[in-house]
Amino acid sequence: MAAQSAIHTSASLQAANAPTFASMEGQLDPALLRGLKEMKFDFMTPVQEQVLQRLPSMGSDCLVQAKTGTGKTIAFLIPAIQNILQYSTRKGQVSILVLSPTRELAVQIADEAKLLVSKFKRPIEVHTAVGGTTKESALSKFKLGDPKILVATPGRLNDYLSEGNVRAKFDDMKTLILDEADRMLDAGFLPAILQILHALPPKSGPKGQWQGMCFSATVPPKMEQVFAHILSKDHVAVSTIDKSEPPTLAKVPQFSVLIAKVEQTFTALYSILEEEIKATEGVPKIIVFGTTAKLVALYAKIYDRQLGLPVFELHSRLTQTARTRATAAFKETKTGIMFASDVIGRGMDFPDVSLVLQVGLPADADAYTHRVGRTARAGKDGKAILLLTEAESFYLKANRQFPIQPYPHSDTVVNDASATIVNDVLQTIEPEVKQKAYSAYLGFMKVATNKMRMTPEQLVGMANVFAVDGMGCEEVPPMEKSTISKMGLKGVRGINYATKSNPTPAQRGPASFAKATQAPPKGRNGPRAAKSSEKQFPSSNSMLARPRQQGRHRGRGGNGEAEAW
């Protein structure tokens, strides 16, 4: 583990005359100090200093406002571990419970906890309870072990607590920590957290009062009902956030690329990656954020082995084993491209990321900020690029607080060479993968219909162009009626409804793959649907759900584009 990674480095902390952990000798257990030394954590970050020096005792309640990447994990683990050392707890009992919004962040916290307690002569077990893993084997290990520290996601912990014998293992709990509390509530975990608090021992009970610690970048009003269950009225409030600080890291150069047509997305992304790989001094390490897990999966397939770099994939649709493997591999690699969804948009620390490239609309301004925060860490340089269509350009006008400038190479991101490479690869990708990406794209963009000033029919038309002209689908991918209804698009013209005679690619099975991957004629920007597809907002009569048919060629020198309807 690098010395004080993320925003702070040992060198920068030393230059700022930060206090050392060695200065806590006599206040912290020697084994804790040895663990910190082993982790090469010599100097305290501001949040660590504030927590360790402002708490009346290591068992005091606290509400801490701090950004990700500032050393929060160590800031809450040290007092929590030091606090439980004064108690004699029964074997098999949980002493410290940490709640985290994502599996990846939970695993990262657990890894730091294991290193921190590695120098204790009497082992302190660290367990995780996260979704995506086999519940039975993990729960069995939890029941049979001595999980003094448990790091959990709300959903999986509620699964555990549904069993009475498991709830009993929390009777001696001494500390409850909420990390990224605002993010958990934004993700809709409020009911789950309240359910957990109801199942746990009360804040003040016959066995004493457990310590509550809440760490959050922001403190929205709806968190008050949670604080009432976790924090005492005399809790210590700590903030290391400078309100005058810009919402993004000012040192990160930020650029935008606007493309005229949605079907140019894959070509433009390829060209940008190619340009940035060439321009990178040293070894490029890139994160590409997509809007949905299924689009991320498609990107990973398209650009795998095309750019001469290792490709990694990380999103919620992968198994936990695959996600853990990808996370660890990308942390260790010196070079490569990680295609990811927002599961790593906040809280995760990957060293030496030189570029963050966002494709499509970020969910909101905070999502943009935290994604950009994955680069230019630990004193290193970094860059951020946002790739949008003209329809999505409203995002730039609505977020003028970000210092986003036009990308210097915008005029060359759509070119014949890149289009040929990308289209050839697209013809080898299974129709089911494309169908899932299309459905996910349509569902995600539905939320932004009003902001793009589009009717539902225009939205469907744009998505159809994205599928046929962009992904090279033979027809507008069919969707289940239930999926269409959930999107609120029932009855909208242009949707291809799945039926027994018109099944989805998944229903057809692999037998249709060979036929579906026969490459149709390609033009300068790949297969085209019709003249009307040149419009950003197709009319109600364009891009209907009809199969592609080869049309006559027209244009310059016989190399023009096919009329395909």
CATH of the domain at 144: 3.40.50.300
Average pLDDT, the chain: 86
Q: Assess whether 351 and 329 both reside in one domain.
A: yes
Query: How many Å apart are CA 80 and CA 112, to the nearest integer?
Result: 13
- Domain's final residue, options 382, 413, 444: 413
pLDDT of residue 55: 95
Across the range 432-459, mean pLDDT stands at 96
Other CB atoms within a 10 A radius of the CB of residue 368 amount to 25
Task: Name residues whose C-beta falls within 8 Å of residue 431's C-beta, 6 or more positions apart in sequence.
Answer: 473, 474, 477, 505, 508, 512, 513, 516
Our CA angle for 444, 368, 192, nearest 5°, is: 65
Token readout for 203 is: 């804040």
320 & 436 share domain: no
Q: What is the 3-state secondary structure (H, E, C) of 227-238?
A: HHHHCCCCCEEE
Q: Write down the pLDDT at residue 381.
A: 84
* pLDDT attached to residue 347: 66
Which of 543, 545, 471, 470 has its CA nearest to residue 502? Answer: 545
pLDDT at 378: 67
Quote the CA–CA distance of 516 and 325 in Å, as a whole number: 32
Q: Are residues 68 and 112 in the same domain?
A: yes
Residue 180 lies in a domain: yes
Whether 551 has a pLDDT exceeding 70, the answer reads no
Tell whether 482 and 403 lie within a shared domain.
no
Domain end among 239, 271, 301: 239
pLDDT at residue 303 greater than cutoff 90? yes
Percentage of the chain beyond pLDDT 70 is: 86
What residue spans of 94-148 are helical by DSSP H?
103-116, 135-144
Q: Quick check: 339 pLDDT over 90?
A: yes
- Of 214, 239, 264, which residue is a domain's last? 239
Does some domain include residue 316? yes
Q: What pTM value is reported for the model?
A: 0.65
Closest CA to 212 of 189, 179, 245, 242: 179
pLDDT band at 523 (very low <50, low <70, confident <90, very high): very low
Q: Using DSSP, state whether 28 is helix, strand or coil.
A: strand
- Residue 185: predicted pLDDT: 81
Looking at the structure, tell me whether residues 71 and 218 fall in a common domain.
yes
**Res. 565: pLDDT tops 60:** no
461 shares its domain with 535: yes
Report the SS3 class of residue 563.
Answer: coil
In a domain, 247, yes or no: no
Beta-carbon contacts of 505 under 8 Å, excluding residues fewer than 6 positions away, are 430, 431, 432, 434, 435, 477, 512, 516
In this predicted structure, the answer to whether residue 293 has a pLDDT above a threshold of 70 is yes
Q: Please report whether residue 563 resides in a domain.
A: no
Beta pairing, strands 126-129 & 96-99 = unpaired
CB 525 within 8 A of CB 264: yes
| Mean predicted confidence (pLDDT) in 44-53 | 95
Q: What is the pLDDT, as a whole number, of residue 282?
A: 67
Residues 272 and 126 in one domain: no
DSSP assignment string, 132-145: TS-HHHHHHHHHHS
How far apart are alpha carbons 435 and 338 in whole angstroms? 22
Q: What is the mean pLDDT of residues 37-64?
A: 95
Q: What is the pLDDT of residues 134-192, one digit of tens each?
A: 778 889 999 999 999 999 999 999 999 999 999 999 999 999 999 999 888 877 888 99
Which of 252-266, 350-364, 541-555 comes out lowest in average pLDDT? 541-555
CB 288 within 8 A of CB 338: yes
Sheet holding 336-340, edge to edge: 311-314, 336-340, 285-289, 355-359, 383-389, 254-259, 404-406
The least confident of 202-211, 453-462, 468-477 is 202-211
Which position has the higher pLDDT, 295 or 251? 295
**What pLDDT was estimated at residue 153?**
95
- Cα-Cα-Cα-Cα dihedral sign, residues 288, 291, 293, 296: negative
Q: What band does 505 get if pLDDT is binned at 50, 70 and 90?
A: confident
546's CB contacts (< 8 A; 6+ apart) are: 475, 476, 565
In this prediction, residues 365-386 reach a mean pLDDT of: 86
- Here the contacts of 484-492 (C-beta below 8 Å, separation 24 or greater) are 486/443, 487/442, 487/443, 487/446, 488/446, 488/456, 489/442, 489/446, 489/456, 489/459, 489/460, 492/456, 492/457, 492/460
Cβ–Cβ under 8 Å, residues 424 and 306: no
- Count of H-run helices and E-run strands, the chain: 22, 16
Shared domain check, 400 and 285: yes
Question: pLDDT confidence of 59, banded at 50, 70, 90?
Answer: very high
Q: Looking at residue 514, what is its pLDDT? A: 52
Residue 4 has pLDDT above 70, yes or no: no
Q: What is the pLDDT of residues 307-338, one digit of tens each?
A: 999 999 999 899 878 988 999 999 999 999 99
Lowest mean pLDDT among 86-100, 237-251, 381-395: 237-251
In the predicted structure, residue 490 carries a pLDDT above the cut 90: yes
Same domain (yes/no): 348, 474: no
Say whether 112 sits in a helix, a strand or coil: helix
CA distance 341 to 371: 10
Helices 431-446 and 456-465 sit at what angle, rounded to 10 degrees?
150
Do 433 and 387 sit in the same domain of this protein? no
Average pLDDT of the segment spanning 493-511:
85
Please tell me whether residues 174 and 311 are part of one structural domain: no
Count of domains observed in the chain: 3
Q: Quick check: is 1 in a domain?
A: no
Contacts of 375 (CB under 8 A, 6+ apart): 252, 287, 353, 354, 355, 356, 382, 383, 384
- Nearest Cα neighbor of 389 from 330, 468, 463 is 463
Residue 563: the pLDDT is 21
Q: What is the pLDDT of residues 230-280, one digit of tens each?
A: 999 999 999 988 765 554 467 799 999 999 999 999 999 999 999 999 988
Residue 468 sits in which domain range?
Answer: 427-558
Output the pLDDT for position 449.
95
Cβ density class 457-467: b for 16+ within 10 Å, e for less: bbbbbbbbbbb
Tell whether 419 is covered by a domain.
no
What does the pLDDT average to over 453-476?
96
> What confidence score (pLDDT) does residue 535 get?
39
| Residue 422 is assigned to a structural domain of this protein | no
| Same-domain check for residues 283 and 360 | yes
For residue 228, tell me if it sits in a domain: yes
Q: How far, in Å, CA of 480 to CA of 488, rounded? A: 13
Q: Span 38-55, mean pLDDT? A: 95
